[in-house]
Amino acid sequence: MGPDPAVAVVRSAVRRVLAELPPDGMVLVACSGGADSLALAGALAFEAPRSRPDGRPAGGVTIDHGLQEGSEVRAGKVVRTLADLGLDPAGSVAVTVGGRGGPENAAREARYAALDGAAVRLRAAAVLLGHTRDDQAETVLLGLARGSGARSLAGMPPSFTRSTEPTRSTEQGADVRYVRPLLEIDRATTRRACEAMGLEPWDDPHNDDPAYARVRVRHEALPALEKALGPGIADALARTGRMLRDDADALDELAAKAHAQALGTANELDVESLAGLPRAVRTRVLRMAAIQAGSPAGTLAAVHVDEVDRLVTAWRGQRHVDLPGSVRAFRRYGKLLFGPA
């Protein structure tokens, strides 16, 4: 008799990811103790020793954000659960969450910095994250509400890499690979998998706090859409995000080639070459050039790029456009340049 269907689905997702990773190197799972990451940890503990050719080491780490009373005790319980599953090493990292960018963003940045550090210390081949299809749907809907472009509406990528800064023990920085094996699996399945594996998830009270936009989307917006339009909204949003990601990847590739072709010897862009590009490609080229000149990607908005685009397509002698990060775009003798404001 095989495992419970929910367990089988989660294990299969982890098995596919392990098969795509380099055969050597530890795999870490980031586990909050919630149902999604706990099911992922259970699946990794089962699959890692059985991965070809001779199994691979697998560990687990939980992040103590220190935002709730007793968080260190809860982190200790998660560590014991990870160890009981057979993950080794299993540990927790305490972080200090600042206030920059709002509480959600600050917690996320602190969490990823801690995971980066753990992965570099253990020379991990990858860190597995427990985001599900429901998380993806929420991300796409939040991007839609912000009026974002295709890249934001594409949601979370199945995998991505973060580059770390050099430390005292490493002369060079390192790249840390993150993978989301559960993006095609819904939240209900991970909870059933935990029940079948005898794992008791922890329900973070922050996940029910309406002060957070994602919580309002989860408990109010998505149910309202399901009621008005019928079931399957979360699946449709996640599917839309996946298709938009393919489109965004293709446009980004075209933009990189166009940027290289339009770039002159003095780090300037040829206006005539830019004007002949489709707008979707041209604005990506302009955004790329602005970021390379020092404008922060997180604060460089569509309205800024649109104004730079007017220097190309609707130039009436305007002198320049000021961008975040004290960067200025200006047109001179048929060339578009980016420099200090």
Do residues 83 and 164 share a domain?
A: yes
Do residues 185 and 326 share a domain?
A: no
Inside any domain, residue 163: yes
Do residues 102 and 186 share a domain?
A: yes
Do residues 177 and 321 share a domain?
A: no
Do residues 309 and 174 share a domain?
A: no
R_g over Cα of the chain: 23
Cβ 57 vs Cβ 73: under 8 Å:
no
Cβ 203 vs Cβ 34: under 8 Å:
yes
Rounded to an integer, the average pLDDT of 79-97 is: 93
Instruction: Transcribe 88-127 into DSSP letters.
Output: SSEEEEE-----TT-HHHHHHHHHHHHHHHHHHHHTEEEE
* Beta-bridge mates of residue 329: 321, 338
> Rounded to whole angstroms, how far apart are CA atoms 64 and 79?
11
Do residues 196 and 304 share a domain?
A: no
> Rounded to whole angstroms, how far apart are CA atoms 307 and 273?
18
One-letter amino acid of 169? S
Do residues 163 and 291 share a domain?
A: no
Inside any domain, residue 218: no
Cβ 55 vs Cβ 25: under 8 Å:
no
Do residues 171 and 304 share a domain?
A: no
Largest CA distance in the chain: 76
For residue 313, give every residue at least 6 positions away whose Cβ sits within 8 Å of its Cβ, in sequence order, or none. Answer: 275
Please tell me the total count of domains within the chain: 2
Task: For residue 266, name the pLDDT band (cuts at 50, 70, 90).
Answer: confident
pLDDT at 78 over 70: yes
Do residues 36 and 164 share a domain?
A: yes
Please give the pLDDT value at position 159.
96
Task: For residue 243, name the pLDDT band (cuts at 50, 70, 90).
Answer: very high
Do residues 25 and 124 share a domain?
A: yes
Inside any domain, residue 229: no
Inside any domain, residue 87: yes
> Rounded to whole angstroms, how far apart are CA atoms 132 and 183?
4
Mutual angle of helices 279-292 and 302-313, in 10-degree steps? 110
Please choose, from the candidates 155, 97, 71, 161, the residue with its C-alpha nearest in 3D space to the C-alpha of residue 124.
161
CATH number at residue 126: 3.40.50.620
Alpha-carbon distances, residue 123 vs 24, 62, 118, 137, 200 (angstroms): 10, 17, 8, 32, 30
Do residues 72 and 201 share a domain?
A: yes
Rounded to an integer, the average pLDDT of 227-236 is: 93
> Rounded to whole angstroms, how far apart are CA atoms 260 and 172?
28
Do residues 43 and 125 share a domain?
A: yes
CATH number at residue 318: 3.30.465.60
Alpha-carbon distances, residue 188 vs 9, 194, 235, 308 (angstroms): 12, 10, 13, 46
Task: For residue 245, name the pLDDT band (cuts at 50, 70, 90).
Answer: very high
Inside any domain, residue 252: no
The percent of residues in the chain predicted with pLDDT above 70, rounded, is: 96
Inside any domain, residue 174: yes
Inside any domain, residue 226: no
Please give the pLDDT value at position 109.
87
Angle among Cα 259, 260, 262 to the nearest 5 degrees reads 65
Range of the domain at 170: 5-131+158-210
Q: What is the pLDDT of residues 119-176, one digit of tens each?
A: 999 999 999 999 999 999 999 999 888 776 788 788 999 999 998 876 665 556 789 9
Inside any domain, residue 296: yes
